[in-house]
């Protein structure tokens, strides 16, 4: 691709927590944009957003919005993706969808560039962006998967409220003030806005993200379980997950236990992680250095630390994985897929 080549890009859901980050990253990365189209609900149409010093007027997303678009980045909820993604594809756009609408569709690749960019190259118009908590885990485990193979993963998450959108961020902040002031906290959003019961998130830990399935796991947990298999292209990678919302604004943390298929050398594991693309090893316990959500906020990388040998299982390994859920977990992974597609076409 010649350097002067530029692309028409649409962001669908431009006013949402992830959409805003997509716009910011397109600017920061100096993505080769010819025209940026910002699409939202009719409610937001007419508002303006600044991009590279220019005011862009938000338009209502309709089937016709995608004429001439090269990349359509969707993050406006599964319903909007199901309604509009195929229109974008029919107009010749590549859709990179950040919702769960198409993730498990066998015709749609589910992509983390560090893991399975080859799948993205074989797309049929739509590429799905995995769930935030899955992305940071599989990106970190990829070099270990390649070197040793993985038998099973047991993960417990410590997830930020921003994964549930701007209203959840507002709720955590408002509740925190209420509790600090000795008032009764107002609970209207978390754990799941549309469900009847809402729990306090300020100064609490809620072991529910998304709704429950019949097997006692939540959809969020099943996403980690099923998406990991699809991204590795390996049904034999067994995942068990417990997904928990904690009072953090940005940055998902994960306590990950993994059983490799082969014996490993701990120094080699750390070296593999240190040299893996997109991964930053932060692991100096004696200096109290390990990944923290507050340090990961605003960064594109995935941070891993507390890497240590299980005391009992010879192939068992523990680690602590942290990343900004709105960036590598969502907006950046989407933009990164687009960047890699452009590179591959070059």
Residues near a copy of itself, by CB under 8 A? 152, 154, 156, 158, 172-173, 176-177, 180, 191, 195-197, 199-200, 203-208, 212, 215-217, 225, 238, 240, 242, 244, 246-249, 253, 255, 257, 285-288, 290-294, 305-313, 316, 318, 320
Catalytic residue, from 87, 123, 132, 243: name it.
132
Cβ of residue 309: shortest distance to a copy of itself, in angstroms? 7
User: CA-to-CA distance for 154 and 152, rounded, in angstroms?
Assistant: 7
| Residue (71 or 158) nearer to a copy of itself, CB | 158
From residue 60, how far is each of 51, 108, 229 by CA, in Å?
A: 18, 26, 36
Cβ of residue 142: shortest distance to a copy of itself, in angstroms? 21
Cβ of residue 229: shortest distance to a copy of itself, in angstroms? 11
Q: Give the 3-state secondary structure of the chain.
A: CCCCCCEEEEEECCCCHHHHHHHHHHHHCCCCEEEEEEEECCCCCCCEEEECCEEEECEECCHHHHCCCCEEEECCCHHHHHHHHHHHHHCCCEEEECCCCCCCCCCCCECCHHHHHHHHHCCCCEEECCCHHHHHHHHHHHHHHHHHCEEEEEEEEEECHHHHCHHHHHHHHHHHHHHHCCCCCCCCCCCCCCCCCCCCCCCCCECCCCCECCCCCEHHHHHHHHHHHHHHCCCCCEEEEECCECCCCCCEEEEEEEEECCCCCHHHHHHHHHCCCCEEECCEHHHCECCCHHHHCCCCCEEEEEEEECCCCCCEEEEEEEECCCHHHHHHHHHHHHHHHHHHHC
Cβ of residue 201: shortest distance to a copy of itself, in angstroms? 10
Cβ of residue 160: shortest distance to a copy of itself, in angstroms? 9
| Residue (14 or 153) nearer to a copy of itself, CB | 153
Cβ of residue 276: shortest distance to a copy of itself, in angstroms? 20
308 is in an annotated binding site: no
Q: Residue 58 in contact with residue 51, Cβ under 8 Å?
A: no
13 is in an annotated binding site: no
16 is in an annotated binding site: yes
75 is in an annotated binding site: no
From residue 45, how far is each of 12, 61, 218 by CA, in Å?
A: 12, 9, 35
Rg over alpha carbons for the chain, rounded to the nearest Å, is 20
Q: Residue 254 in contact with residue 224, Cβ under 8 Å?
A: no
Catalytic residue, from 87, 123, 243, 252: name it.
252
Q: Residue 146 in contact with residue 261, Cβ under 8 Å?
A: no
| Residue (205 or 344) nearer to a copy of itself, CB | 205
| Residue (97 or 301) nearer to a copy of itself, CB | 301
44 is in an annotated binding site: yes
Cβ of residue 170: shortest distance to a copy of itself, in angstroms? 12
43 is in an annotated binding site: yes
| Residue (54 or 288) nearer to a copy of itself, CB | 288
Catalytic residue check, 252: yes
Q: Where is the binding site for substrate, in residues?
A: 159, 245
Binding residues for phosphate: 103
Q: Which residues are catalytic?
A: 132, 252
Binding residues for NADP(+): 15-18, 43-44, 162-163, 325
């Amino acid at each position: 691709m010649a350097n002067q080549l530029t692309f028409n890009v649409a962001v669908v859901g431009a006013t949402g927590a992830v959409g805003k980050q997509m716009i910011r990253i397109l600017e920061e990365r100096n993505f080769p944009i010819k025209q940026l189209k910002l699409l939202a609900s009719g409610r937001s149409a007419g508002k303006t957003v600044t991009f590279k010093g220019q005011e862009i007027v938000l338009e209502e997303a309709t089937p016709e919005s995608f004429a001439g678009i090269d990349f359509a980045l969707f993050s406006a909820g599964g319903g909007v993706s199901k309604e509009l993604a195929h229109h974008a594809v029919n107009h010749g756009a590549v859709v990179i969808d950040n919702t769960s609408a198409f993730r498990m569709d066998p015709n749609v690749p589910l992509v983390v560039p560090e893991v399975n960019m080859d799948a993205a190259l074989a797309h049929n118009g739509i590429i799905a962006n995995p769930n935030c908590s899955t992305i940071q885990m599989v990106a970190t485990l990829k070099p270990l998967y390649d070197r040793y193979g993985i038998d099973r993963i047991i993960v417990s998450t410590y997830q930020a409220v921003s994964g549930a959108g701007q209203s959840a961020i507002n709720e955590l902040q408002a509740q925190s003030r209420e509790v600090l002031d000795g008032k009764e906290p107002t609970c209207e959003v978390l754990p799941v806005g549309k469900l009847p019961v809402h729990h306090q998130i300020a100064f609490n830990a809620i072991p529910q993200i998304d709704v429950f399935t019949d097997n006692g796991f939540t959809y969020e947990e099943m996403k980690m379980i099923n998406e990991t298999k699809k991204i590795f292209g390996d049904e034999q990678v067994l995942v068990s997950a417990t997904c928990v919302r904690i009072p953090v604004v940005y940055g998902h943390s994960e306590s990950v236990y993994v059983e490799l298929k082969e014996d490993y050398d701990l120094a080699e594991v750390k070296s593999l992680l240190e040299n893996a693309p997109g991964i930053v090893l932060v692991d100096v316990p004696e200096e109290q250095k390990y990944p923290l959500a507050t340090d990961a906020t605003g960064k594109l990388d995935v941070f891993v630390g507390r890497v240590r040998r299980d005391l009992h299982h010879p192939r068992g390994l523990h680690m602590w994985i942290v990343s900004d859920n709105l960036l590598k977990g969502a907006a950046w992974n989407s933009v990164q897929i687009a960047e890699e597609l452009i590179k591959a076409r070059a």
